[in-house]
Amino acid sequence: MGLRFESFDIDDINRALSQLQIDRSVKRVREYQGGTDQAKKRLERFLGTRLKNYDSMRNDPNNEATSGLSPYLHFGQISPLYIALEVSRQRKSPGREAFLEELIVRRELSMNFVSFNTEYDSFAALPAWCRQSLRKHQNDKREYIYSLEQLERGDTRDPYWNAAQKEMVCLGKMAGYMRMYWGKKILEWTATPEEAYQTAIYLNDKYALDGRDPNGYAGVAWCFGKHDRPWKERPIFGNIRYMNAAGLKRKFDADEYVRRVEESFRKNDTLPDT
């Protein structure tokens, strides 16, 4: 057929790695080992002990109710079809439908977003009503404005946000509910909505093991109003959904979450110099 493919020699792993454009200030995440075998072990553990609680506990970061498979999906080390078939066999599990909704419907929605919106990684990707509302309020007074360096270090007055950022730096992941809070606080603490959007994309792409992925781009966009509806107008956020620390505390023990992240952070000592 006359097809030509570029090859990449991986016989010498160290030499191969030295040729990659990798930001080596981002430390290795010790919790994850790559490969299909590891992905399947995680899936087996999820099916055996976590799936049953997925629907009711997945938004509580203090409970291990999620699969941990997102990095393996991102790097193509396990097939979403394989996962879906294995989960579908768990017919009596109360978490089955909720997990398949996330794996298939929400994941495909993210794929659709980046496939049909060429601006998917920028503020321009947002619906017109989001952009108009945020720009209307971009000059609203902000109680705090943090630099990129402060945000990257998790150095704000909000211990819950700091924990979420440190969790991503330390473990390469962030609890789903905290990711929503994390993105919305960046909007609240940054001078303009455009700068906030780029900051969220930058941090997620740099530190999340599943960064540079449709799910990540759609997740950031959701924090700014994509795939959501207009809410009651308020300063800074306009008609974008608002989240605060009181909402976290109603959902789960937020202080316990901070304690757990700080403990993991001390053990891993992965905070980069910026």
Cβ–Cβ < 8 Å for 75, 34: yes
Measure the CA–CA gap between 70 and 76, rounded to whole angstroms: 10
* CA-based torsion, 41, 47, 48, 51: positive or negative: positive
Class of domain 123-268: mainly alpha
pTM value?
Answer: 0.92
Domain boundaries, the chain: 29-116, 123-268
- Return the CATH fold of 29-116: 1.25.40
Distance CA(232)–CA(274), nearest Å, equals 38
Per-residue pLDDT of the chain (274 residues; tens, 9 = 90+): 677 777 888 889 889 888 888 898 998 888 899 999 999 999 999 999 999 999 999 999 999 899 999 999 999 999 999 999 999 999 999 999 999 999 999 999 999 999 999 999 999 999 999 999 999 999 999 999 999 999 999 999 999 999 999 999 999 999 999 999 999 999 999 999 999 999 999 999 999 999 999 999 999 999 999 999 999 999 999 999 999 999 999 999 999 999 999 998 888 764 454 4
